[in-house]
Each structure stands twice: as C-alpha cells, then as structure tokens.
Amino acid sequence: MPEKLFLASIHDVGPRFEREVDHLAALLTGLLGGPRFAMLVVPDHWGEAPLAAAPAFRRRLRGWAEEGVEMFVHGWFHRDRAEHRGLAGLKARHMTAREGEFLGLAEAEAARRMADGRALIEDATGQAVAGFVAPAWLYGEGARAALANSGFALAEDHLRVWQPASGRVLARGPVVTWASRSRPRQLSSLAFAALARRALRPTRVVRLAVHPGDTGVPALLASIAATGSALAKGRRIAQYRDLLA
C-alpha cells in the first residue's frame, strides 16, 4: 500500500514579510517536529522588496536551507500587471487579487523571470531550488511552455504536483490553504479546511499552504494548527523532492 505523505509550505517568503514568515515558520516547526516544510520565495514582491538588496534576509534564507527547508522560486514580482480576457480574465478577477503574475506572460518573459529567480535564490542559499510555483498557482500558456523547458524538477498548482519536463503527475488533490483578505473569504476557507480534515484522509499526498496574511487573523491560525495536526496524523512528514523517489 502506498505510503501517505504530508507536505507543507510557506508562500510569499521575502524581506517584505520577514516578521510574518518567522511566525509561520515557528508554527509549522512546532506542528511538524522541525523545519520540515518548503518556502516559496518571491525575488521582489510587487517591485518593492528586492531580495537582492536585503543581505540580512538572504543570510536567513541560507540558514533555513541549511536546516533542510526546501526553497521554491515563486514568480518574480508576484503582482499581475497584464490585461486579461475570457477565462484568464475570470481567473485574474476572482481567484486572486491581481496576484497571478504568470497568468498573462509571454513564454520568453516567463522564462526570463524563472531563470533570474532561480539564479538569485540559489546564490542566496548556496543550494539548488526544489522547483517553481507560480503566484496564486496560476499559469498561462506562456508560463507552461517556459516551465516545460526550464529545468525545474517540480511544479505545482491547486490540484497537482508534476514534473515540468515530462508532464508526469506526482500527486493529485486540492491544496489546503486559507484566504485572509476579506471576511467572506476567511469564512469560506475556514469551512473548507474543516471539511478537508475529514475528506482528505484517504488522499495519498496532502498539501497544506500558508501565507503571511494568515498571521493577522487568529481564527485562521487556529484552523491551520488544527488542520495540520489532523492531516499529518498517520502520515510521514515529507519534502516535495520525496515525490520524485
């Protein structure tokens, strides 16, 4: 019978949210018995918090990586500056608050940001990144084409983890995450997490993702703790790279 795994990640890691990331890292370390999670690093959040100009935070990233935290490239700016139509427009408006940076990029620009982000983060940590995750888990056609030729070992979206070069799916199932930007979204994410604590028990690989904004809402933090504790029970606390084994 296949082993059941639990994966956890902190999104939007960068100097802009250092205090919040510290809070989430402490929370997950306590839940999981150590720094056994991934960090999704944004090189320059909204063009206002460049990692390249934050040597102290780069040293912190290196320290986390040396402790075993996996590092993913998480876009470049995170902010979506493109104009969208059709289905992409619906996703941009309703699935994220203009945070889907890679939804409307052309292949060449997507490839450039992926490569630049990888170089910056690997220079900071001294280690190879684990993979790439688009902001808000949203990929346009250009981003998907660029990703297939990027050399990244792993990528993920809301419903799966896969190998970009081959397209091979390594894990399926919804990622459990929380939304903090409005009261209705908070309530819906709390309801989904409560449901997931039971509904995802049969799933082979369960993924949990937290964001800096979660730290400002006590109810979300309580839900993260309860959901992580419930879903990790009976599972091995794993790393994303374990899916390649």
Query: Which pLDDT tens digit goes with each residue over 195-226?
Result: 999 999 999 999 999 999 999 999 999 999 99
Q: Detail the DSSP E strand segments found in the chain.
A: 5-13, 38-41, 70-73, 131-132, 155-156, 160-162, 169-172, 205-210, 236-237
DSSP class of residue 7? E
- First-to-last alpha carbon distance for the chain, in angstroms, is 16
Is residue 28 predicted with pLDDT exceeding 90?
yes
CA dist., res. 44 & res. 81, Å (int): 14
**How many residues can be counted in the chain?**
245
Is residue 182 predicted with pLDDT exceeding 80?
yes
CA dist., res. 190 & res. 176, Å (int): 10
Is residue 148 predicted with pLDDT exceeding 80?
yes
- Among residues 140, 132, 168, the alpha carbon closest in space to that of 38 is found at 132
pTM for this model (two decimals): 0.93
CA dist., res. 71 & res. 69, Å (int): 6
**pLDDT on residue 93:** 47
DSSP class of residue 196? H
Tokens encoding 223: 């839900």
Helix and strand element counts for the chain (H, E): 7, 9
CATH H-level, domain 5-238: superfamily = Glycoside hydrolase/deacetylase (3.20.20.370)
CA dist., res. 14 & res. 56, Å (int): 11
Q: Phi then psi for 237, rounded to 5 degrees?
A: -75, 110
